[in-house]
């Protein structure tokens, strides 16, 4: 079913700017990444999305393809970013069927809430493997194609967008540390570091590497699973954000188009935080608890046996 453009893309972007370009996206079955890809497809790109769940990924590919008549969107289910061979196979299929890779979104992530005392080494490693090793594997497997894309479409100042760009999806909680998110914070800090290395090593070839850090985004599976339901239902969680609300997938998609189109041609090695200024929010003295009770009592404390 077609999703209205206004739900995933601002009207300011001109149709066709990504014509003949191909985007490769891990975690493409999820709410945020699928909106990013849908926006790029709407503006002319073809796409290959990867996910672990076969049915969900294929269904999402069909849905994204409705964003533009004639769009080609491949859904590769059963893909696991923890395994480099899985990515290499997907890259090969994408290049064979769509002709190359111009843009990459490394979006696959895994997460759950747990205090440090409740984390096994394997639990910590699992999230590091998905987020950090998965981002590295995605970069590694697509790099030759990103570099080829720069050669194929140098920035000539014409009206089509330059290729050879990668966006990693990270999170702001490692800037400050976050309770129950030590594993994910460590993993996302690694993602930012991979991005920085790629920006410095491959900038000289004309490739750009950046991170987008979404804040809490309304309607995502991550928020449904990990968000604090009680604080959300009272609006307290939203009010802690300087803009007083959660973000939308459209706001992340717009940031993606900015970085991939010629508007973002001089942005390299940057972390673009799209969170309404939320990560800077120091909590409040207005009676709303910035520090949740469940850290000290309830299910998480019981689980950690403290």
Query: Residues in the site for ligand HXC, rule: CB under 6 A?
Result: 109-112, 114, 118-120, 122-123, 126-127, 171, 184, 216, 222-223, 226
| Nearer to ligand HXC (CB atom), residue 216 or residue 247 | 216
CB of 26 to ligand HXC, least distance (A): 12
| Nearer to ligand HXC (CB atom), residue 153 or residue 172 | 172
CA pair distance 140, 160, nearest whole angstrom: 26
Q: Are strands 271-274 and 73-76 parallel, antiparallel or unpaired?
A: unpaired
CB of 57 to ligand HXC, least distance (A): 13
Q: φ, ψ for residue 79 (rounded to 5)?
A: -90, 140
- Cβ proximity of 89 and 48 under 8 Å: no
| Nearer to ligand HXC (CB atom), residue 61 or residue 119 | 119
- 114 in active site: no
Give me the catalytic one of 86, 149, 161, 170. Answer: 170
The angle formed by the CA atoms of residues 22, 94 and 14, to the nearest 5 degrees, is 15
- Cβ proximity of 168 and 121 under 8 Å: no
Give me the catalytic one of 135, 153, 172, 188. Answer: 188
CA 204 to chain centre: 25
CA pair distance 125, 222, nearest whole angstrom: 19
CB of 15 to ligand HXC, least distance (A): 31
Give the other-Cβ count within 10 Å of 233's Cβ: 9
Q: What is the DSSP letter of 138?
A: H
CA pair distance 163, 21, nearest whole angstrom: 7
CB of 107 to ligand HXC, least distance (A): 9
| Nearer to ligand HXC (CB atom), residue 81 or residue 198 | 81
Residue 269 in tokens: 């090695």
- 289 in active site: no
| Nearer to ligand HXC (CB atom), residue 104 or residue 128 | 128
| Residues with catalytic function | 170, 188
């Amino acid at each position: 079913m077609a999703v209205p453009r206004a739900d995933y893309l601002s009207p300011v972007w001109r149709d066709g700017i990504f014509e003949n370009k191909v985007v490769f996206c891990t975690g493409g079955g999820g709410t945020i990444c699928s909106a990013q890809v849908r926006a790029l497809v709407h503006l002319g790109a073809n796409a290959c999305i990867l996910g672990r769940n076969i049915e969900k990924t294929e269904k999402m590919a069909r849905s994204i393809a409705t964003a533009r008549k004639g769009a080609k969107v491949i859904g590769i289910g059963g893909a696991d970013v923890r395994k480099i061979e899985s990515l290499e196979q997907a890259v090969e299929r994408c290049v064979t069927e769509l002709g190359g890779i111009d843009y990459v979104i490394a979006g696959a992530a895994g997460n759950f809430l747990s205090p440090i005392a409740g984390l096994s080494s394997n639990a910590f490693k699992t999230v590091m493997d998905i987020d950090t090793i998965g981002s590295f594997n995605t970069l590694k497997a697509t790099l030759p194609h990103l570099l080829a894309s720069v050669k194929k479409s140098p920035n000539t100042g014409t009206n089509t967008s330059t290729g050879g760009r990668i966006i990693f999806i990270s999170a702001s909680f490692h800037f400050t540390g976050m309770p129950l998110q030590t594993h994910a914070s460590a993993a996302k800090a690694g993602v930012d570091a991979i991005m920085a290395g790629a920006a410095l090593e491959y900038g000289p070839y004309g490739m750009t590497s950046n991170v987008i850090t979404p804040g809490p985004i309304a309607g995502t599976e991550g928020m449904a699973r990990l968000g604090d339901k009680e604080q959300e239902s009272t609006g307290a969680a939203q009010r802690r954000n300087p803009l007083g609300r959660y973000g939308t997938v459209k706001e992340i998609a717009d940031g993606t188009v900015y970085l991939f189109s010629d508007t973002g041609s001089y942005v390299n090695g940057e972390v673009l935080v799209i969170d309404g200024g939320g990560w800077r929010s120091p909590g409040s003295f207005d009676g709303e608890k910035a520090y949740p009770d469940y850290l000290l009592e309830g299910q998480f404390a019981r689980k950690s046996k403290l």
